[in-house]
Amino acid sequence: MQQPARPAASLTLAGLAGLWLAGFCLAAVSDTGLDFAGIDRSVAPGDDFFRYANGNWLAKTAIPADQPDWGTFAVLTELTLKRTDELIRAAETTASPGSEARKIADYYASYMDAARIEQLGSTPLVPLLREIDAIADRTALARALGATLRADVDILNNTRLDTANTFGLWVAQDLSDPSHYSPFLLQGGLGMPDRDYYLNPSQKMADIRTQYQAHIAAVLRLAHIADAAAKARAIFELERRIAAVHVSRAESEDALKGNNHWSAAEFPRRAPGLEWPAFFAAAGLAQQREFVVWQPGAVTGIAALAGSAPLETWKDYLRFHLIDGVSGYLPQAFVAEDFSFREHVLSGTPEQEPRWKRAVEETNAALGEAVGKIYVAKYFPPAEKARAEAMVHNLIAAFAARIDRLEWMAPQTRARAKAKLETLEVAVGYPDHWRDFSGLEVRRGDAFGNARRAALFDYRYNLQKLGRPVDRGEWAMTPQLVNAVNLPALNAINFPAAILQPPNFDPQRDPVMDYGAIGSVIGHEISHSFDDQGALFDASGKLQNWWTPEDFAHFKAAGERLVEQFNAYHPFPDINVNGRQTLSENIADVAGLADSFDAWRLTLQGRMPPAIAGFSGEQLFFLSYGQSKRRKFREAALRLHVVTDGHAPAEYRADTVRNLDAWYQAFQVTPSQKLYLSPPDRVGVW
């Protein structure tokens, strides 16, 4: 993946000179396709390439008040939100009754109807809170916990590893036999983003813990629940104990450690405390015979707490997470409290997004592919799809050539790597077949009910996969998302339409800049099939070793050098990048950039590369890459990113050019400069 979960969307920067969004001027891109004014020529490229490529942009750009960070992807996201909002509003007047477009319009309109939501107050919560009140024993608790299970996790792509529900569920291809789907059960139960927020002894984390307890109490008071402060302390302590049994983010990314198959009958013995038959029955999984337990120690630890922590504390925990999870569909007081902690405290964002943005994001979450269908019809022409597919073809060919040139790789390993590359399923823009939303009921004026029904509809959609043949053409992202993804068990890649826009992908400029920007993204996703985790999967998507021992040892040693390289980066004096946690993405960045450079050179067919505005073709390639990584964080957002994200911060991703020989030649980097690595210390991996 390219960048962590922010609301779906996309942006074109062609002709953005003079365009203002959210009150902030976006850097104008020149007619030649790069933001030359954003370059800081006072910085030597060999000392700090990120600031050389983006220094003037960083100095002149303010983060919009409703955003935790700002950069190329956020600008694209902003534009796509605006475009999607216009498409949904148009559907209000044109959609026929019962159509998908009508459901989209009604879902959006219901969320936008703040007056109706205020009128209803907290009454939509009443029957759900009564169900919690009725929990009288551990069996009923197990049923209540099972009823909260939702398919809201994607372990291999770092999506919501920690869910506020006690466990997370991922329905995906079985890693040992990718011909069928399996349910993956994962650790959950935390209201804050990661175990580190509960366990890290630093003063900053301690302050956040204090504010989180105040947030819990405030939410309970808004719902008129008595003894809010005392209950908040007990809820927090239960979550702290859950966090203590959680596996770290870095360890959770290890597929070999996570691929643990348990039969349903084994759960009471291996994870006592929770009444598993009642849990699975309430979750709609009573007939499932086998599960994949990704973090066994955490599942065992949480189950033990289900059997030992006071029942009343669990009931208060369920009340809080019920209310907290639906705050966006409740009156403004709930919305404001949710923003105050989740966005302001955790990310440092000063102002809440306007309601129309939140409405688009929520509609995307509920009816993503239905919205995507109308988005691509308007904004992704066939010519751009064909141009992107041609670029993908070029990058795959270049990667194959790189495999052929690896002197350290044995012939049998090389043959298997090439076979995996040849069977890679690449999907560009949007899926070949669209998801059917005819079974989702959307009632105009019932925003709360719509959200509950949409979540349950999505959960049941995922459960229905169990027992069916695997669909290799299924998408993991919506077309209107500014992102891209590699799906290891499918041996497939998705490139949504929204990422395939200027400044990433621009038909009006020289291709060298497309290769530096979107080409590096495409190469990044191809390379994920061969990163430290992707390399564990064979051509069929099976988690199976296809390496000779000597080749795998060489590959792992290169990865360890990259771990050390990124461990040395310190965004703050008290925190460093976790090279292990970010290893997959760092391998994909290095290999993907090298692959895209090779692919661009192959397109020249011996011709001299272009020179534009005084920059050589090679310099334009790397500048395009550096500007595609531009991103500016608020301090709290950057701290959150470092703790929870599989990607290194943007500046270190841009500076990974230091691993490519071609960058040294392009900018005449010398040993005296800060980013210089001697040739043996440059990590190539592929």
Q: List, for residues 155-201, the tens digit of each pLDDT value.
A: 766 555 445 689 999 999 999 999 999 999 999 999 999 999 999 99
Of 314, 329, 344, the one marking the end of a domain is 329
Dump pLDDT digits (tens) for 79-125: 999 999 999 999 999 999 999 999 999 999 999 999 999 999 999 99
Q: Sign of the C-alpha dihedral, residues 111, 634, 673, 671?
A: negative
Same-domain check for residues 562 and 631: yes
Q: Are 528 and 588 in contact (CB under 8 A)?
A: yes
537 pLDDT higher than 70: yes
Q: What percent of the chain has pLDDT over 90?
A: 90
In this structure, the strands spanning 425-429 and 492-496 are: parallel
| Residue closest to 349 by CA, chosen among 161, 113, 74, 550 | 74
pLDDT at 2: 56
Cα separation values, 5 from 8, 558, 639, Å: 8, 29, 16
Q: What CATH number does residue 412 fall under? A: 3.40.390.10
Q: What CATH number does residue 185 fall under? A: 1.10.1380.10
User: Is 642 strand, coil or helix?
Assistant: helix
Same-domain check for residues 253 and 369: no
Q: Please report, in angstroms and rounded to a whole number, the separation of the first and last CA atoms in the chain.
A: 18
The count of domains in the chain is 2
In this structure, the strands spanning 20-21 and 24-25 are: antiparallel
Provide the residue range defining the domain that includes 398: 20-82+359-681
409 pLDDT higher than 80: yes
Query: What are the structure tokens assigned to 276, written together?
Result: 């598993």
Q: Are 550 and 676 in contact (CB under 8 A)?
A: no
User: Is 124 strand, coil or helix?
Assistant: helix
User: Is 429 strand, coil or helix?
Assistant: strand
In a domain, 353, yes or no: no
Dump pLDDT digits (tens) for 125-147: 999 999 999 999 999 999 999 99
In a domain, 12, yes or no: no
Same-domain check for residues 437 and 561: yes
Give the pTM. 0.92
Q: At what angle do helices 382-404 and 411-422 cross, to 10 degrees?
A: 170
In a domain, 107, yes or no: no
- Residue for token pair 């990974």: 656
- Mean pLDDT, the chain, rounded, equals 93
Same-domain check for residues 72 and 137: no
| Residue closest to 434 by CA, chosen among 493, 484, 373 | 373
Same-domain check for residues 288 and 399: no
**Helices vs strands, H then E, count in the chain:** 29, 11
In a domain, 590, yes or no: yes
Dump pLDDT digits (tens) for 628-664: 999 999 999 999 999 999 999 999 999 999 999 999 9
In the chain, the amino acid numbered 351 is E
27 pLDDT higher than 70: no
Same-domain check for residues 267 and 164: yes
| Residue closest to 289 by CA, chosen among 267, 271, 256, 304 | 267
Same-domain check for residues 304 and 450: no
In a domain, 254, yes or no: yes
Query: What are the structure tokens assigned to 468, written together?
Result: 């069916």
Same-domain check for residues 595 and 455: yes
In a domain, 212, yes or no: yes
Query: Residue-wise over 243-259: b if at least 16 C-beta within 10 A, else e?
Result: bebbbebeebbebeebb
In a domain, 54, yes or no: yes
Query: CA-CA distance, 423 to 421, in Å (whole number)?
Result: 6
Same-domain check for residues 427 and 491: yes
In a domain, 399, yes or no: yes
Same-domain check for residues 247 and 201: yes
Q: What's the whole-number mean pLDDT along residues 503-532?
A: 95
